[in-house]
Chains A and B, each alone.
Chain A
Amino acid sequence: MIENLLLYGLLLIQGLLLAFLAPLSIGWIKMQKAWLQNKSAPPITQPYAELKKLLIKQPLVAEQASWLFLMAPYVYFACLLSLCFVVPFIWITGLATAFIGVIVIAGILTLARIFLVLAAMDIGTAFGSLGARREMFIASLSEPVLLLIFLNASLLTQATHLNIIGYFFIVHKGLYPGMIFSLLAFILVMLAETGRVPIDNPATHLELTMVHEAMVLEYSGRYLALIEWGNAIKFIIYLLLLIVLFVPYGLSTSLGAGEALLSIIAVLLKLMVLIGLVSLIESLNAKMRLFKVPEYLVGAFMLAVLGILLTQLLGVGV
């Protein structure tokens, strides 16, 4: 009983820690990108300063805004915050991992997106609905790929919960050719879903090239703070999904303090390297034309299908 309470307490702290550390990932990627542009960078804690400033600013909304517009940032943030308690961070399991499977994770991500899209169209500006339509266009192509990647992992491990999938790969170390194709597909989808360079530019001021930014143009003050924080959480959640599906080694599987410490060091190192790679991809590529995006995502889809075919052909092999 006491041990169970301790476990739940630790998992709760893990989720909250993840939510509060998420803006650091944005700070780190901005720092890397500044260095790659041969500039000196603002401090890594800059996103926290931005969030604090947005919280003290007046939240000004358009007079046509309905309740949906005011609700959307809260729903968006709540959806992504709930995922903080699902993805493994220090321990192999989160507080809610046992009853939220991978398909529900994809569903929660979609729910968050739907609310943002509806809010963007609610206000009736040209750019809002333009951004919303582009977002749905990209999402409709990238979500099936995400589900196929989850399917491949589930076929291999006979499980649909992240803790069991991660545990399987830790116990049965080895090279899974099917998962390598899934990894490539996942990287392509991650760049598309988190609004990174080949698909969208998170730092753009040009309305004609915006996707995500165009949807949130009308938000200010605390609403914008929630959306920005939600984006940071979304980014880190995709990175952690990559870690647990493809390189879960080092994640702590017991309650021991030493193992947990090792796990923290391992996961932070992995995050730093992954974010470094993302910033390198972003700096070395130009943004893609919007009508090239389907080709890019169909490529990701083909890789995901190939992964499943290879898994089927080679068998699970355990």
Chain B
Amino acid sequence: MLRLAKKIFSTGIQTEILPMPQHEIEHLGRALQVEIANKFSRALAIRMVDAGSCNACELEIHAVNNPYYNLERYGIHFVASPRHADLLLVTGPVTKNMQEALLRTYDATPDPKLVVAVGDCAKCGGVFQGSYAIVGPVNEVIPVNVVVSGCPPTPVAIMQGIFAALQCVS
């Protein structure tokens, strides 16, 4: 326990004011704060739905919460239930088994709500396009506000997607 404490205090705050190529993230963050302030009064809750993904997108979404990207500093956090959520983050081609679950999750989310489809699979089916086991891209099952492409998309792209979704609700 003492070693852990020593490690924590010697490491210090790791959240970066990111240098050149990623400085858009800071800019993005400030813009996000204004958007969230207007529409969700500075707090946004996200529910993740895996509709049949290979988990690559999940790893990138997980990275959004790490000390470097640290989405939580803008007042955005992940929640355990669609009833607590404002935004659904859907990954993967929608498989036949997950279609019903995705529809129910969408119905269980209180208004106003947003949907962001993350990854090429959610966009068009990706490598699973045309498979007998999938229903199709996310927008064939529930209305989608923003699509983030990439296989898998980077954490910055995911944050941009969330930002874009907030812009389109008005």
Assess the A59–B110 pair: CB atoms within 8 A.
yes
What is the bound-complex CA distance between A42 and B73, given in angstroms? 4
Could you tell me if A53 and B81 are in contact, using CB atoms closer than 8 angstroms?
no
The answer, yes or no, to whether A266 is at the interface (CB within 8 Å) is no
Contact B70 A40 (CB under 8 A): yes
Q: Complex Cα distance A217/B83, Å?
A: 7
> 1/0 contact trace for A131-156 toward B, CB 8 Å?
00000000000000000000000000
By DSSP majority rule, is chain B's interface helix, strand, loop, or mixed?
loop
CA distance A43 to B86 in the complex (A): 20
Contact assessment for A220 and B110 in the assembled complex, using a CB-CB cutoff below 8 Å = yes
Q: Does B129 contact A (CB under 8 A)?
A: no
B8 at the A interface (CB under 8 A): yes
Interface size class of B (residues with CB under 8 A): 20 to 34
> Chain A: interface secondary structure?
loop
- A217 and B86 CA atoms in complex are apart in Å by 14
* Known A36-B8, A39-B67, A39-B70; contact A205-B80, beta-carbon cutoff 8 A: yes
> Which of B10-18, B90-98, B114-122, B146-154 is found at the contact surface with chain A?
B10-18
B42 at the interface (CB under 8 A from A): yes
List, in ascending order, chain B residues with CB within 8 A of A58's CB: 110-112
Beta-carbon contacts under 8 Å, A31-67 to B: 34-43, 46, 49-50, 52-53, 56-60
**Which A-chain residue is minimally distant from B12 (CB atoms)?**
A38
Q: Which residue of B lies closest to A214 (CB)?
A: B80
Find the A residue at minimum CB distance from B42: A49
Within 8 A of B (CB), among A205-259: 205-207, 210, 213, 217-221, 224
Which chain B residues in 1-43 approach chain A with CB under 8 Å? 1, 4-5, 8, 11-15, 40-43
**Interface residue? A283 (CB, 8 A):** yes
Does the CB pair A218–B83 fall under 8 Å? yes
* B4 engages A39 (CB within 8 Å): no
Neighbouring B residues of A56 by C-beta, 8 Å: 41
Can you list 7 A-B pairs with a CB-CB distance of less than 8 A? Answer: A36-B8, A38-B14, A38-B15, A39-B67, A50-B75, A210-B80, A220-B84
Task: Give 4 closest A-B pairs by Cβ, nearest first.
Answer: A49-B42, A220-B83, A40-B15, A60-B110
